[in-house]
Structure formats: structure tokens, C-alpha cells
Structure 1
Amino acid sequence: MNFKKLFYYNQLEQSSLNTILLFTLISSTMVTINSTSWISAWMGMEINLMSFIPLMMMKNKVMKSANLMMTYFMMQASSSCLLMFMVMMFKMETMFVKLNMTNTLIQLSLLMKMGAAPFHWWTPKIIKSMNWKNCFILMTWQKLAPIMLISLTMTSWLIYYSIILSTIIGAIMGLNQTSMKLIMAYSSINHISWMMISLFMNMNVFIFYFFIYMISILIISLMMNNMNINYLNQLFKNNNNNMFNKMNVMLMMLSMGGIPPMIGFLPKFKILMLMMKNQLILESMILIFFSLITLTYYLNPLISTLMTSKMSSKWILMKSNIMKNLFYILMMNFTMTLMMILPMMIM
């Protein structure tokens, strides 16, 4: 009886600690976004770092979480040191050439914090060993503060090449991956390029894109966590169970790929319209081409689940209420997309 009480109190303390850490994580990011100086922005990112590291230790093995924690801490600490050093140089320097170089190095440190290419090597390594809830935080919320600080700096060749490299690396490195977490990690690197190029053109489009991306990653992470799926073959092995949940995962994958009836098509279409308006023809062609490559590994879960002979009899034996629910989800997704597209068409 005492053991049960002790276990209950430990669970209660852990849940309350998680709540405090999540509140600190969110508030520190808001401090960074609303800061008026580089020192306060740096302080907010450091509080964010110290809030996320304890979350990485929970629900993981001790040795695995220690390695993850040290890798993440060393990467974030080195980029923070570079950021503070360049901020001090920024205050001391007056020559324009060196000032531009200082600004470029500040952007380099922020790209390291965000995990954008060519400084992306640590992101898949960490995401592969984390649970799905921490993967969601790292792929969405942890990128918000650095990318907002990048928007405050002047555009340079480094940002341009980072956008192009993030598109290419996120598309090519995700091919032939069997881990769902690695697929989502390289997908996140590819989405960074869309977010950065939308941020420099229109802030409202960036907010809309980030909101749709965050909701899609949240739904996929929660469903993968509930079904305990980490690899593609697990979708095939469990094909008799949770068919309705797997169809939802497939719909969200198609939405992230930008298939037109899905809600993920609208922000990409809006960004491409802005790029054509700003005469970024070559860049838009590169983004479209490598988005088609990313669509191939978004379809891997669909192929491993549905395009097999083992599933041929399951469609006949499927209950009618599941098909009705699937129809309702398709109609809801289509209706939401149509409601957002119609005002733009009228305007």
C-alpha cells in the first residue's frame, strides 16, 4: 500500500514538474520574440534551453537521455557563445564591411540553434532517440525563437544558401529512411526553408504556415505515440488494429506533402504566389521540385500500409462506421480548405 502511495506521489510530482517546465518553455520563447535587445533575447533562449533539457530526460533510458542531453546542450551552448561574442563585436565595430560580417556570423549562430542546413547534423541524431512528445517540441516550438530573430537581421548570402540547402538536404536525406522519426526530422529541415522564405516576404503568411505545420506535426506525433509506432514496418504488422487511426495518419502525411485537397496545400500555394510576385522564379522551381521528392517519402507509410495484398480482404471486412468516419474526415478537411481558399478567390 505504501508503495502504491509512493508511486502515485512520484507520478503527481513528475506531472507537476512537466507543467512547470512547459510553462517556462513557452514563456521564455515569448520573452525572446518580444525582446528589444540581443541580451534579453539571449537570456530567453538560455531559459528555453534549461527548460527543455529536463524534458528530454523524462520517459527515456538514463544513458540514452544523458547522451541526448549533452549533444543538445553542447550544440546550443556553442551557438549561444558565438551569438554573444558577435553581439559584443557588433557593439564595438563601426566599419561597414566588418559589421556585415558580424551580422552574418550572428545569423550563422541562429541557424545552428534552429538546425537548418548546413548545420543540421545534430537534429536527426537527437530526434531519433527521443519520444514523440519531445520530437514535437523540438520540430516546432524550439524553432520559433531563432527564426524570429533571423527575421530581425539583414538578409545575406548565408540565409539564401541555407534556404536552398535545407530544401535539398531535407528532401534527399529523407529518402530510403525506415524510421518515422527520421522521416519527420528531415521533413522538418525541408519545412524550415519554406518558413524562412515566407518570413522574409510576409509575416502573416509565415504565421499561417507555422500554425498549419505545428497542428499537422502535433496530430502525427500524438497518433504515433498512441499506436507506439517508430518504424514503417510497424504500420504493416499492425494492419488489423487501429485502421481508422492509420487512415488519419495517412491524411496528415498527404497534408504535409501539400496534396491539393488537404489543408497543407494552402500555405505552400500562398508562398509560391508571393514568390512569383517577387520574381523568385528559380527559387520557386527548386522548392517545387524538391517538395515532389519529399512527397515520395511521405507516401512510404501509405504504401507500407495499404498497397499490399494482405490488405485486399480487409477492405471488404471493414466496418461501415469506419468508412463513414473516414468520409467525414475527408469532407471536413476539404471544407476547411475551401473556406480558406474562397475569400482569396473573391479578393
Structure 2
Amino acid sequence: MFNNSNSTKILFMMILISGLLITASSSSWVGAWMGLEINLLSFIPLMSDSNNIFTTEAALKYFLIQALASSSLLFIILSKSILESMFSFIHSSMTSIIIAAPLLMKMGAAPLHWWFPGVMEGLSWMNCFILMTIQKIAPLILISYSINFNQFMTSIVIMSILIGTIGGYNQISLRKILTYSSINHMGWMLTAMMLSENLWFLYFLIYTLLTLSVISIIAPTQMSFVNQTYSINVDSKIIKLMMYSALLSLGGLPPFLGFLPKWIIIQQMIINWSTTIIIIMVVMSLTTLYYYLRITYSSMIMLSSEINWTSTLIEINSLNMVLALLMTLLSTTGLTISPMFFNMF
């Protein structure tokens, strides 16, 4: 039923999920660290691809950075356990800062994001989706255990939003645009985590759905750069429209679904009188929308072309098309179900 390659990938994917579950359900920091290591060592084989010469470099970069973060986390865990009490920490602001640093490096939040764009450039689109979503779950869960609304986390949030906005401003690679978008969303997600546990979970769920929506459209077309979207043929204009709807939803443009979690965060921050931070976040979010709109406007109106020799390049099978249509429909109309979420927070 499966060839050797698919069977191996299914096995490593199951191990990756099991490592995530071990981390999420662990009652000790050492157990959580073990889950992170299982998760890391199962993702490295998934990154390899004989048809792409850049995967080896990306896998090596990812392994070195994750190994550095994991060893730092283990050293901190053992040191704190010995100095304070065995396998339990005295909760303090300094403890949360020390624990958060290697976890922020693991998930690529600014200013510990330098490895993220380089690794993303060497991966297939499916592996990009795993790196941007599934691989962030375990570090986010561990950070949520000890996060506080302090100066350190506020600076991390502001830096993530600023770097995620400015870094993606002049990019032509779709992978790097999604990378810096992910860094920007990390800032919003950490803010949601400081406000409510349910809120960051909702934000992450919607972010995952929107990222899947974008990648389910881009991956079958094998596009990697912005200029490749300009010459999509006349028969695939629906694909172009779907892709830009998903991108604008990912950027948080009303009335798309991506606006819902940002809307709730803005309301909660105003209630908590954190107006300065939320003004910075909203302005940077609008700047992020600018370069999504710039791509959309250029491709749909100014630089739209129909070239004869590209008329048969875009072929998507029916299953991928149904998935892309379903995810796009969810991202464009999902805001209509928003009233049911308000009583959750």
C-alpha cells in the first residue's frame, strides 16, 4: 500500500507526534525535555529529500540550533533543581526568564530567530508547515507554564512583531514571507498567552488553519517566489484569488477569519490598559498587511499576464483542489461564527 519512503515518513511522523504528546503531558521538566528531544530527532529524517540539495544544509542548521537550545534547557533544569529543590522550581520572575530563553530559540521568536529563515528556504512546503506550526506547540506549552506579564516578555513581544514586520517587507521568496509572518504571529501569540490560556490556544488553532490554507494552495503549484504568481494562466485565476484571500486572512484583514483572534486580543489589552503596546502591535500589523496587499495588487491588476507557454503548468488534482477550496472558504467566512467565541474568555 505504501512505498518504503512513505512508510518511513509515516513512522517518523508518528514518533514526532508522540514526542509532542510526551512534552504536553509530562509532570516534570526532565520528562518535557525528553519529549522535545524525541520530537527533534524524528523531524530531522523528515526534512531529508533526495530531490532537493538544500535539505541537508537546512537539517544541519536546524539540528545544531535545536541541540544548543535543548542542552541549555537541560543545564538550566538540572542547575535549578540542584540549587533550589529536586525537580521543582521556586517560582520567580528570573526563573521564568531563564526557562523561556531556550524555548524561545526553539520556536524561532525574535531576537533568537536568526536560524529560522535559512532553514525554511531549504525545506519542502509540507515540512515548512510542520516547522511553522507543529514544532512550535511543545515550546509554547512549556512557556505557558511560567509566563508572566513582565518587562522581558513585553520586549520579546515587541521585538517579534517589529522584526516579523520589517523582515518580510522587501522579500521576494514566499517561504521567507511566511517565515517572517510566523515570527510576527509569535508576538501576538505570546501576548494572547499572557492574557488567557484559552485565547492563545484559539489563536494558534486559527493560525494553523490559515497557514494550511496558504500552503495547500501554493504547494501543488510548486511556486517559491512572488514573481511566479504573476503568470498563473487564465484557467487558474481562481487559484490566484484563493491564495491571496488566504494571505490577507493570515495578515488579519477584516472581515476574514484571521482578524478574529487579533480583535479579541485588542479588546483584552484595552481592558488591561496596555494601550501603548497594542498601538505598536496594530500599526505593525497594518504594515504587514501592506506587503500582502502589494503582492495582491501587483499580481491581480498591474502585472497580470496570460502567457501561452504557461497555460498547462498549473495542474492540481481534485483532492488538493477540494482541500484548498475548503480551507479558503473557512478563512474567508470564518468571522461570521465569531460571536460563539466571546463567552470563552
**TM-score, normalisation: structure 2:** 0.86
Equivalent position of 2:232 in the other structure: 238
Greater shift after overlay, 186-195 or 89-98? 89-98
1:37 aligns with 2:28: yes
- For residues 219 and 329 of structure 1, the distance between their equivalents in structure 2, rounded to whole angstroms, comes to 5
Gaps of 5+ in 1: 1-8, 313-324
Q: Does 1:281 align with 2:275?
A: yes
Q: State yes or no: 1:15 paired with 2:28.
A: no
- Which of 295, 298, 310 pairs up with 1:301? 295
Question: Displacement, 1:167?
Answer: 0.3
Q: Please report the RMSD computed on the Cα atoms of aligned residues, expressed in angstroms.
A: 2.8
2:116 alignment partner in structure 1:
123
Q: Secondary structure at the match of 2:230?
A: helix
Q: Distance in 2 between matches of 1:79 and 1:268?
A: 30
Instruction: Count the aligned residue pairs.
Output: 324
CA contact (8 A) 1:163 1:196 kept: yes
**Structure 1 CA distance, aligned partners of 2:92 and 2:46?**
38
1:73 to 53, 57, 63: 63
Correspondence for 1:53: 44
> Corresponding residue for 2:158?
164
- Is this contact kept in 2: 1:68–1:129, CA < 8 A? yes
Q: 1:14 to 1:293 in 2, by over 3 A?
A: same
Paired letter, 1:338: T
CA distance 1:133–1:305, change in 2 (3 Å): same
Q: Percent identity?
A: 35
* Alpha carbons of structure 1 residues 288 and 59: separation in structure 2 relative to 1, 3 Å: farther
Q: Which residue of 1 aligns with 2:318?
A: none
- Whether the aligned pair in 2 keeps the contact of 1:59 and 1:131 (CA below 8 Å) is no
User: Gaps (5+ residues) in structure 2?
Assistant: 307-321
CA shift in 2, pair 1:310/1:108, >3 Å: closer
Shift of the alpha carbon at 1:279?
Answer: 1.4
Q: Which amino acid aligns with 2:128?
A: C
Deviations 1:295-332 (A, max 9, x none): 112223312321226459xxxxxxxxxxxx9x999987
The structure with more radius of gyration: 1
Structure 1 residue aligned with 2:316: none
**AA matched with 1:23:** M
CA displacement 1:97-129 (0-9 Å, x = unmatched): 997545422211111111100000000011012
> Of the candidates 220, 226, 229, which is equivalent to residue 226 of structure 1?
220
Matched, 1:93 2:93: no
What is the CA distance between 1:257 and its match in structure 2?
Answer: 1.4
Residue 261 to residue 330, structure 1, CA distance change in 2 (3 Å)? farther
Higher relative contact order (CA 8 A, sep 6+): 2
Counterparts of 2:301 and 2:138 in 1: how far apart (Å)?
A: 41
Amino acid at match of 2:106: K
Look up the SS of the partner of 2:3 in the other structure: helix
Moved more, 295-304 or 328-337: 328-337
Superimposed CA distance per residue, residues 271-316 of structure 1 (whole angstroms, 9 cap, x where no aligned partner) = 111111111111111110100111112223312321226459xxxx
Contact 1:86/1:102 (8 A) holds in 2: no
CA distance 1:56–1:92, change in 2 (3 Å): same
Classify the secondary structure of the residue corresponding to 1:16: helix
User: 1:176 is paired with a residue of what secondary structure?
Assistant: coil
Is this contact kept in 1: 2:258–2:331, CA < 8 A? no
Distance 1:333 1:52, change over 3 A: closer
CA distance in 1, matches of 2:329, 2:208: 22
- Give CA deviations for 1:130-184 in whole Å, capped at 9, x if unaligned: 1110000001111111011111114243322111100000000101110000000
Q: Any conservation in 2 of the 1:232–1:304 contact (CA below 8 Å)?
A: no
Secondary structure of 2:13's aligned partner = helix
Structure 2 residue 84 is the aligned partner of structure 1 residue 108: no
Matched residue, 2:337: 339
Listed one character per residue, the Cα deviations across residues 232-273 of structure 1 (whole Å, up to 9, x for unaligned) are 110112243421111111110110111111111111101111
Q: Does the CA-based 8 Å contact 1:261-1:333 persist in structure 2? A: no
Residue number in structure 1 paired with 2:146: 153
Query: Does the 8 A contact of 2:107 with 2:139 survive in 1?
Result: yes
